[in-house]
Amino acid sequence: YFSWEVLRFLLSNLRMWIEDYRFDGFRFDGVTSMLYHHHGIGTGFSGDYNEYFGLHVDEDALCYLMLANHMIKFLYPECITIAEDVSGMPALCRPVAEGGGGFDYRLAMAIPDKWIQIIKELKDEDWNMGNIVHTLTNRRYKEKYIAYAESHDQALVGDKTLAFRLMDAEMYTNMSVLSPLTPVIDRGIQLHKMIRLITHALGGESYLNFMGNEFGHPEWLDFPRKGNNESYHYARRQFNLTEDHLLRYRFLNAFDRDMNNLEERFGWLASPPAYVSEKHESNKVIAFERADLIFIFNFHPYRSYVDYRVVIWHASLTVVFKYKILLDSDAAEYGGHQRLDHNTEYFSEEYPHNYRPNSLMV
């Protein structure tokens, strides 16, 4: 139960951080535990509306969150608020005036968990394209989500980053360009790029990265504590790794840079959700369109494809569209194998494919 004194204290806290410390946004941690009297403990959320409306909802907490968002938006319109909610409470990220919770974004927390689960539990040939697409697109319509490929928790002691899960100990011995490109490092570098791009392009309306993840930081993060004799050794990020031209970390960093620059140019995060035209289980291919771009991912562990036809959702029946490669994870500057000719031009055709009238051969 919130008394008005507690409410005033919490709301004035928000105002203090903005006015005294110039905060430009807040991530509300553990919102799920506030929204329900059961705190989300031992509760599975299927999406059924009965799970979100009833006596188990903590109306005092919900009222506080609505008041907090209303106050922040009223006094500081540029301030952003983000909810960490695993329950999928409807309208949590719609304006208070609509009866919503008032948050701008919510974290797409299922996405990093899904990538870890896939890498830990499945062989490459068992990856499920439909399940990946479902996880990346399973979000409430007209509510904005922040997609991220890996979380800060994964870099802490006892867990591993995506890069370390993919390449593990070989990151200490085989990341030099002077050493042969081993199957483990090759697979790890290529999947690291693809996982980040498909998360960025398909997973939400914003993208979050934690320091070091963009170049596949090889070590965990650990702060001084009794358990490590108050050591600062792992309380760091080795940004020097990206500056060493003899190390392959720079390939991952260059890809991250160009991926973000491409989004800046075309604005897919601010575009409507993608149209997914293909999630082919045996070919291990995912294809979709967003912001007038066609994204094609081949997750097959050993098969490449020539003359592969994909749907064009936005193509006109009267105008021929020309496409060129803008970002290629297989390019040499990203540690790839240069299997695609970037001078090739691809043209839309009035050729039915996957139940659509227009397609493209790539």
Q: Which residues are catalytic?
A: 29, 84
Q: Which residues, 6+ apart, have CB-to-CB distance to 86 below 8 Å?
A: 32, 40, 45, 109, 110
Q: Nearest to residue 54, comparing CAs of 33, 38, 30, 70?
A: 38
Q: How far is CA 267 from the centre of its chain?
A: 15
209, 210, 207: which is closest to 156 by C-alpha?
Answer: 210
145 and 88 Cβ atoms separated by less than 8 Å: no
The first and second tokens of residue 270, run together, are 């601010």
- Report residue 304 as tokens: 């490449």
- Find out whether 137 and 273 touch, Cβ atoms under 8 Å: yes
- Cα 68 to Cα 31: distance, rounded to the nearest angstrom: 13
Asked if 314 and 357 touch (Cβ cutoff 8 Å), the reply is no
Q: Would the CA dihedral through 100, 105, 110, 111 be positive or negative?
A: positive
**Orientation of helix 183-202 relative to helix 129-137, angle to 10°:** 40
| Tokens matching residue 63 | 């009222």
